[in-house]
Amino acid sequence: MWGGGNGSGGEPWPWPPCDERLCLALPVRVLVPVTAVCLGLFVVGVAGNVLTVLVIRGYRDMKNTTNLYLGSMAVSDLLILLGLPFDLYRLWRSRPWIFGQLLCRLSHYLSEGCTYCTILHITALTVERYLAICFPLKAKVMVTKRRVKAIIGILWAFAFLSAGPFFFLVDVEQPNNHTDFSRECKPTPQAVESGLLATMFWVTTSYFVLPVICLNVLYGLIGRELWQSNARLRGPNAALREKEHRQTVKILAVVVLAFVICWLPFHIGRIIFIKTQDTRMMLFSQYFNIFALQLFYLSASINPILYNLISKKYRAAAYRLLLPHRGAERAFTVTKDTGGCTESSASTRHEYATSL
């Protein structure tokens, strides 16, 4: 996140100024609960995403195309979480920056690149689900593991190429004097004055707005297809399949809603930051961005929790990994409960939609 530290010029911030012992971005009464929340998200997020990677890599039945995307997203979320300690350091001690110029630039670059990468993965996964549910027979031919792996590689490359300018927009600045205490990791004056920083913020915002529009359109088409397929379902299991289709639509809605809730404040905060001119608005921007910061890291931590809540298959695989002696019995129960309906194209749609 951007910002932090005390104001430069104009009115002072309404808390003690920086000294050589402490340089707070916000009052201690605010930073303590924020730090506690962020540390909790860090522990949960790292553990959950590592578990997701191990589950998908460790079990052959988990290596479908959908889970290849989810495993790659887990790696991206892990890299995002690695930036959390640096953000906490800047909140408590915005200067001096003690980690050197390379880590200053690299921490921002990785955060931006992985942010783009996660959004692109969610969009690509949505496109795959759309093809699988609306065109199941074609999808079985087109969507292969080899092609998905190639797409994932392209997504990573495109994301980090797009984020490339951020590596040069920040530096370790010494604004007033050349003492060690004045070192601060922040956007360079050239980036701010030229408008390049604001331009890149708008690029980041477009990375959010355009995928959200795409997600809503595609999930709307997916939902319509699932609802319409209910009329074509026949046989003794029709009622059960209709219930499962409704559950699938709900799951998709939850995923999109969680994505929007976690990411929208982050981008609103950036817009407020680049539009801020006076001290009062800067103070509001600081508080709002602290709120957005927590949701930003929540987005990198919440996916494994969602997988566990909505996917019996994921729960069974995680159970087998963590408790191998008891996991075999649980896996047998889940397989028995979820086996069965693959004899029609409508059921194929359900299989793809719930392939976590």
Cβ atoms of 18 and 6 within 8 Å: the answer is: yes
Paired sense of beta strands 170-173 and 184-187, if any: antiparallel
- Give CA–CA dist 123/167, Å, rounded: 25
Element (H, E) at 170: strand 170-173
Q: Taking 90 as the threshold, does the pLDDT of residue 29 lie above it?
A: no
3-state secondary structure 253-287: HHHHHHHHHHHHHHHHHHHHHHHCCCHHHHHHHHH
pLDDT tens string 125-172: 888 888 887 887 888 888 888 999 999 999 999 999 999 988 888 888
Backbone Cα Rg of the chain? 23
* pLDDT confidence band for 47 (50 / 70 / 90): very high
* pLDDT confidence band for 58 (50 / 70 / 90): confident
Task: Look at 116 and 132; give whichever has higher pLDDT.
Answer: 116
Q: Which two tokens stand for residue 179?
A: 């003492």
- DSSP-derived secondary structure for 203-222: HHHHHHHHHHHHHHHHHHHH
Task: Look at 50 and 19; give whichever has higher pLDDT.
Answer: 50
What's the pLDDT score for residue 177? 55
One of 2.130.10.10, 3.40.190.90, 1.10.10.10, 1.20.1070.10 is the CATH number of 28-353, namely 1.20.1070.10
pLDDT tens string 309-348: 777 778 888 888 888 766 455 544 544 444 433 333 344 4
DSSP lists the bridge partners of residue 170 as: 187
| CB within 8 Å of 234: residues ≥ 6 apart | none
What's the pLDDT score for residue 342? 34
What ranges in 135-237 are assigned the alpha helix state H?
136-142, 145-162, 166-169, 189-194, 196-230
* pLDDT confidence band for 249 (50 / 70 / 90): low
Task: Look at 260 and 239; give whichever has higher pLDDT.
Answer: 260
Tell me the CB-side half-sphere exposure of residue 182, using CA atoms within 13 A.
8
Classified as helix, coil or strand, 83 is: coil
Element (H, E) at 187: strand 184-187
* pLDDT confidence band for 352 (50 / 70 / 90): very low
- Give CA–CA dist 96/103, Å, rounded: 14
Q: Taking 70 as the threshold, does the pLDDT of residue 114 lie above it?
A: yes
Which of 190-215 are b and which e, b meaning 16 or more Cβ less than 10 Å from the residue's Cβ? ebeeeebbbebbeebbebbeebbeeb
Cβ-based burial of 177 (10 A; exposed 0-12, middle 13-18, buried ≥19): exposed
Cα–Cα distances in Å, from 246 out to 238, 284, 335, 340? 12, 42, 21, 18
What's the pLDDT score for residue 152? 96
What's the pLDDT score for residue 353? 44
* pLDDT confidence band for 1 (50 / 70 / 90): low
- DSSP-derived secondary structure for 277-323: -SHHHHHHHHHHHHHHHHHHHHHHHHHHHHHHHH-HHHHHHHHHHH-
Task: Look at 175 and 38; give whichever has higher pLDDT.
Answer: 38
Domain ranges for the chain, please list them: 28-353
Cβ atoms of 107 and 97 within 8 Å: the answer is: no
